[in-house]
Amino acid sequence: KTQLTSLAVNVTKPIDGSDSEVKFDKDGMSDTESKVDSGGPEVPVAPDDTPVVLNKALSGLSSRWKNWWVRGILTLAMISFFFIIIYLGPMVLMMIVLGVQIKCFQEIITIGYSVYHSYHLPWFRTLSWYFLLCVNYFFYGETVTDYFFTLVQREEPLRILSKYHRFISFALYLTGFCMFVLSLVKKHYRLQFYMFGWTHVTLLIVVTQSHLIIHNLFEGMIWFIVPISCVICNDIMAYMFGFFFGRTPLIKLSPKKTWEGFIGGLFSTIVFGILLSYVMASYRYFVCPVEFNNDSNSFQVDCEPSDLFQLQDYTLPSVLESLTGWTTVRLYPFQIHSIALSSFASIVGPFGGFFASGFKRAFKIKDFANTIPGHGGIMDRFDCQYLMATFVNVYIASFIRGPNPTKVIQQLLALRADQQLLIFNSLKNHLTEKGLLPVLEEVNA
């Protein structure tokens, strides 16, 4: 009882006996709460790395408008870079995704290392990067085997690696696991297991979801570009509406987020998604999946567009008909799906950013890194993108993707001759029982 009373006095009254009040920071947390919640040393604050040219050009502006111009200029630069890598094709995009993944992983692991570096934990960073290598080997091997089966079967080394891929991946991970156990230090068991969990959660958030981005890309570049563009559009428009019209705070984790920005970003992103989908759906380069061509010995993006990318007439509801005077509209079916993508990017996508904000507040840092002036680190720009990628992958699997005859034929051709003959006879009997085979024979005749 005496200890609890003493603790209460210490919390409410300074040690020197004065009657001054407990101070609160800008986030509404008292100094005592901040110390209790810290859980360890704070991460050093990164210095301002805004280019000197921009600092001189914007020196006469207030900090609010200076930040606005810095963010705007760097945003236009990033969008221009995005256009360039789209022009270079899907394989370059895949390499860019890998690079972004590695940088995001490095930023999160660096935070962990900065917090706990004083404990001199052995092998922490080495094992973290080793596990990143193992997980990437597993995921990229699965992707190559799944999407480029013909190429894998044609090359003997690839065929061997594909056959034993999961066993090799498990052996690599098991090696890292044993190295971690051997690195345990008696005085720091709990802390080392904390960091082991830190690494694996980072792998789950960053590597797994970046792998889903690549899967979306191979389904057709439109499934990669439209979701990413919707998140970018929502981020920009929410910032613009919030900057000029924001009055009502949205969430405590991000005090600068407002309801005005949230609602303005939602409607702007839906309109943007519909317009962008209309433009991209008319080009085979964007709608066709990435495939390997045996004849040209290269990857290609060429196909006969599916019904999803064919213009169709839709009857408008009576309410919209009375407002517009139109009875029907001509749209690509993908445009309707883009509404779902845009809505998710605007309503649920920002929660990826809120999650990242909570993470940063837990370690008293403003940004994950200072890679991009005015924007922070790469992870600060991709916190919503990873959540969006998972949704798109689930959406495609649930509502879009059907059986793929090309993949089935590729797998059949890899079988032995007796297995192929068995499947042929089974399929022939099945079609005969359904009465389809005589019809096919008459057509061929």
For residue 430, give the 3-state DSSP assignment: helix
* Position 8 confidence tier, pLDDT thresholds 50, 70, 90: very low
Q: Is the pTM of this model over 0.85?
A: no
> Tokens in use for 12?
């409410």
From CA 99, how far away is CA 112, in angstroms rounded?
20
pLDDT at 32 > cutoff 80: no
- Round the average pLDDT of the chain to a whole number and report it: 82
pLDDT at 117 > cutoff 70: no
From CA 232, how far away is CA 335, in angstroms rounded?
18
- The whole-number pLDDT of residue 27 equals 41
CB within 8 A of 45, min separation 6: which ones? Answer: 365, 366
* Position 28 confidence tier, pLDDT thresholds 50, 70, 90: very low
Q: How many residues does the chain have?
A: 445
> Tokens in use for 202?
């980072």
pLDDT at 111 > cutoff 90: no
- The whole-number pLDDT of residue 345 equals 96
Tens digits of residue pLDDT in 57-100:
666 677 777 777 777 787 788 888 888 988 888 888 899 999 99
Tens digits of residue pLDDT in 179-221:
999 999 888 888 889 889 999 999 998 999 999 999 999 999 9
From CA 395, how far away is CA 341, in angstroms rounded?
9
For residue 152, give the 3-state DSSP assignment: helix
From CA 33, how far away is CA 36, in angstroms rounded?
5
- The whole-number pLDDT of residue 44 equals 52
> Tokens in use for 83?
């256009």
Describe the crossing of helices 333-347 and 259-280 by its angle, rounded to 10 degrees.
160
- The whole-number pLDDT of residue 277 equals 96
pLDDT at 411 > cutoff 50: yes
Tens digits of residue pLDDT in 124-146:
888 999 999 999 999 999 988 88
- The whole-number pLDDT of residue 48 equals 52
pLDDT at 417 > cutoff 70: yes
Picking from 226, 215, 225, the residue whose alpha carbon sits closest to that of residue 274 is: 226
Residue with tokens 């940063």: 360
Tens digits of residue pLDDT in 325-372:
888 999 999 999 999 999 999 999 999 988 988 888 888 888 888 887
From CA 105, how far away is CA 99, in angstroms rounded?
10
User: 270 with 339: CB under 8 angstroms?
Assistant: yes
Residue with tokens 């998604």: 273
For residue 293, the cross-strand partners are 298
More confident residue, 113 or 442: 113
For residue 331, the cross-strand partners are 312
Residue with tokens 């809120």: 354
List own/partner pairs for 294-303 with CB under 8 A and 24 or more apart: 294/150, 294/154, 299/90, 299/91, 301/89, 301/90, 301/221
From CA 443, how far away is CA 445, in angstroms rounded?
5
From CA 345, how far away is CA 228, in angstroms rounded?
9
From CA 208, how far away is CA 201, in angstroms rounded?
10
- The whole-number pLDDT of residue 42 equals 53
Range 298-306 average pLDDT? 84
Q: Percent of the chain having pLDDT more than 90?
A: 39
Range 263-292 average pLDDT? 93
- The whole-number pLDDT of residue 7 equals 34
In Å, how far are 8, 109, 177, 187 from 193, measured between CA atoms? 34, 14, 12, 12
From CA 228, how far away is CA 207, in angstroms rounded?
17
Tens digits of residue pLDDT in 232-261:
999 989 988 998 898 899 888 888 889 999
Query: Parallel, antiparallel, or unpaired: how do β-strands 328-331 and 312-315 relate?
Result: antiparallel
311: left (phi over 0), alpha (psi -120 to 50) or beta: beta
pLDDT at 11 > cutoff 60: no
How open is the CA angle 423-426-427, to the nearest 5 degrees?
85
330: left (phi over 0), alpha (psi -120 to 50) or beta: beta
Q: DSSP assignment of 206-230, as one string? A: IIHHHHHHHHHHHT-THHHHHHHHH
Which sign does the torsion angle of CA 5, 8, 14, 19 carry? negative
Q: DSSP assignment of 278-318, as one string? A: HHHTT-HHHHSPPEEETTTTEEE------GGGS-EEEEPPH
CB within 8 A of 127, min separation 6: which ones? Answer: 176, 179, 180, 183, 199
Q: Percent of the chain having pLDDT more than 70?
A: 83
In Å, how far are 75, 105, 112 from 128, measured between CA atoms? 31, 9, 11
